[in-house]
Structures are given as structure tokens and as C-alpha cells.
């Protein structure tokens, strides 16, 4: 019998993978990368804040930022900026469509798999949602990242 912890999701290959972790772009840029299975990478980041010194290994992340640019070519690419730097998101055209949010200046959240950590973090989009309607999303983001990373094992 195969038991799966509820806090984990099954990947398309049937293997367990951790849920996305809230991170800032500087954490990925300064991370220690190692090749993962398939096309995603595992990055080992330092936890945000001063509480714990151990590292988190992750391949799925939740990031938030302001849309700087949208390139609508074959595989839509979005450049975003959070409080600590820029990052890119590829495959935005392939995520489920909700309310349009990929416009310059909009604040959005992105869940994606890490494709590279540096020199600029690159994610493959799984979900993108607009957050511009409530300015509290932007104001609280760094605190949310720190709080989550403090309690993760």
C-alpha cells in the first residue's frame, strides 16, 4: 500500500514532490543549485529572516512581483520584479486562463517549477493570478515569506 502525506502532491510521473514554497528572487539568485529530475532544478536556499540557518531544498516555488514586460512569442515570457530583484517566467500562455492580469505594472503571484536559479531566476509557470486589487498582498509579501520559511521543517 502506497501512503502519501496530504501535504505533498503527486507529479505526473507518480513521484511525491513538495508543495511550492514562498521565496524572494534574491534567495534563488544566491542559492546553491543542483540538477533535479527531468527539466526542473533543485535549489538550496538560505531561509529568509534571522531565525534558522539551515537550508531549504526546493524545485517548486511561489513568487510575487510586478510585471515589467510580457513577450508574446512562441512560449510567452514574463519578466517580473519583487522587492529584491527580477525574475523571469516562461510558459505563461500555457497556464489556465482566468481574469487577464499580465499587463505592465500589475502585481501578480506565480507558482512554478524552477528552471534555473542564476544569473536570473527562471520559472516555468503552473499558475499565475493577479493580486493588484488589494495592496496588502504587496506590503505583506516579505513577512509571509519569512513566516513560512521559519516554520517549515
Using CB atoms within 10 Å of the CB of residue 142, give its burial: 0 to 12 exposed, 13 to 18 middle, 19+ buried. Answer: middle
Specify if 48 maps to a domain: yes
Q: Which pTM was predicted?
A: 0.83
100 versus 90: the higher-pLDDT residue is: 90
Q: What percent of the chain has pLDDT over 90?
A: 59
Q: What percent of the chain has pLDDT over 70?
A: 83
Q: How many domains does the chain have?
A: 1
pLDDT at 71: 94
pLDDT in tens, 109-140: 999 999 999 899 999 999 999 999 999 999 99
Q: Name the β-bridge partners of 43.
A: 33, 58
Specify if 97 maps to a domain: yes
Specify if 23 maps to a domain: yes
Q: Name the β-bridge partners of 77.
A: 71, 90
Q: Which of 65, 138, 145, 144 is nearest to 102 (CA)?
A: 65
Mean pLDDT of all residues belonging to the chain: 84
**Residue 147 domain boundaries:** 17-151
User: What's the mean pLDDT in 65-94?
Assistant: 94
CATH of the domain at 102: 2.40.50.140
Amino acid at each position: 500500500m502506497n501512503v502519501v502525506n496530504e501535504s505533498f502532491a503527486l507529479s505526473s510521473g507518480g513521484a511525491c514532490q513538495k508543495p511550492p514554497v514562498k521565496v524572494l528572487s534574491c534567495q534563488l539568485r544566491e542559492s546553491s543549485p543542483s540538477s533535479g529530475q527531468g527539466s526542473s532544478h533543485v535549489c538550496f536556499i538560505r531561509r529568509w529572516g534571522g531565525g534558522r540557518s539551515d537550508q531549504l531544498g526546493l524545485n517548486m516555488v511561489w513568487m510575487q512581483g510586478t510585471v515589467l514586460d510580457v513577450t508574446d512569442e512562441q512560449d510567452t515570457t514574463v519578466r517580473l520584479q519583487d522587492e529584491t530583484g527580477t525574475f523571469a517566467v516562461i510558459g505563461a500562455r500555457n497556464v489556465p486562463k482566468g481574469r487577464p492580469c499580465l499587463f505592465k505594472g500589475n502585481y501578480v503571484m506565480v507558482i512554478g517549477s524552477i528552471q534555473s536559479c542564476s544569473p536570473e531566476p527562471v520559472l516555468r509557470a503552473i499558475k499565475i493570478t493577479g493580486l493588484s486589487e488589494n495592496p496588502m498582498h504587496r506590503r505583506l509579501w516579505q513577512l509571509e515569506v519569512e513566516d513560512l520559511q521559519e516554520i517549515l521543517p
